[in-house]
Amino acid sequence: MPQLYSPANPYRHFMLPVTHGHEIYVEETGNPKGIPILFIHGGPGAGLSTDYSKQFDTNIYRIIGFEQRGCGRSTPFASIENNTTQDLLNDIHALREHLHIDKWILFGGSWGSTLALLAAIAAPEHTLGLILRGVFLGREQDIHWYIHPQGGAGQLYPEHYEAFVQDVGYLDTTKEICDAFFTLFNQKNKFAKANALRAWYGWEERISRIQHPYGDPLYNYDLHQVASLAMLECHYLKNDCFIPDNYILDNIHAINHIPGMIVHGRYDMICKLESSYSLQQIWPNSQLTIVPDAGHSTSEPGIAFALKQATDTMYKIIDIN
């Protein structure tokens, strides 16, 4: 397998005021005169990892990373006020204009793939290409797969699902599950609130990859990230991701001419492979790489290497004129 690039330090970072009192953290890495590529993190609420630039040739790309409303270094922290999918898309538009970029590549994994697809559909004239990992289409069936007891993830990881819903019980609908957790997240009992936040975060972490070589991922967790990911992910799923069901597939024709490279782990338990497969079937200018022996996480070698290969290929096939 090819080697990944070494993670690079940002050459610039700043806070960008957007709307309704929110400010988003932005950083730039790589070649300031390179091909602009926007890195859109997952979650919602995950924030930027410290090594996300390892998949990019920093001589070729101008890598722009930002932390979405309410997470990471963006402020106010963990806020769900004026925090919807459309708000995030507006922020992406505002960031592109602030940086005086006409066209860029959109790179997103999981929830980041949702935003990348929506941003491209909304502004194909500003999109050079898309690189997507673990596609999440935001449909009711995708939410059901992830958090419902009869969904695929719960059926394949029943012991972890039991730990996930220990404080809310086995409920009938995804909305009831989200409502129950949302109530716990907003209670005054700090101990119970922290337990609920860890339960939500732990569910995602425990099923995110096939193997956890360092044991239970909750032994080394960042409480800051736990809070933002649990709060914001629950908020978005509770509201059907603020998009009509099947919106992305129904509107993919808007980007038929734009190249797309899709990477998906065969055993992804968070975002089912069917999503990427269905997308690729109706997007004629896209390619799907299914990574065997891999789940959802970019920390799995097969996923990371496939994404590096995608970035190494994309700049050769896009039309930068």
Q: Which of 22, 41, 264, 296 is catalytic?
A: 296
Q: Give, as one character, the DSSP assignment of residue 219.
A: G
Which residues have a Cβ under 8 Å from the Cβ of 139 and sit 6 or more positions away? 245, 246, 275
**Strand 23-30 relative to strand 12-17, pairing:** antiparallel
In this structure, which amino acid lies at residue 106?
L
296 is catalytic: yes
268 is catalytic: yes
| Residue 141 CB burial class (10 angstroms; 0-12, 13-18, ≥19) | middle
Count of CB atoms within 10 A of residue 82's CB?
14
| Type and span of the H or E element at 40 | strand 35-40
Q: Which of 235, 268, 275, 286 is catalytic?
A: 268
Helices (H), the chain: 85-98, 111-122, 140-147, 152-156, 158-164, 174-185, 190-206, 223-238, 247-250, 273-282, 301-317
Instruction: Give the separation between CA 311 and CA 261, rounded to whole angstroms.
Output: 9
Phi, psi of 264 (to 5 degrees): -145, 130
Structure tokens at 83: 């925090």
Q: Which of 79, 110, 208, 275 is catalytic?
A: 110
| Type and span of the H or E element at 36 | strand 35-40
110 is catalytic: yes
Q: Which residues are catalytic?
A: 110, 268, 296
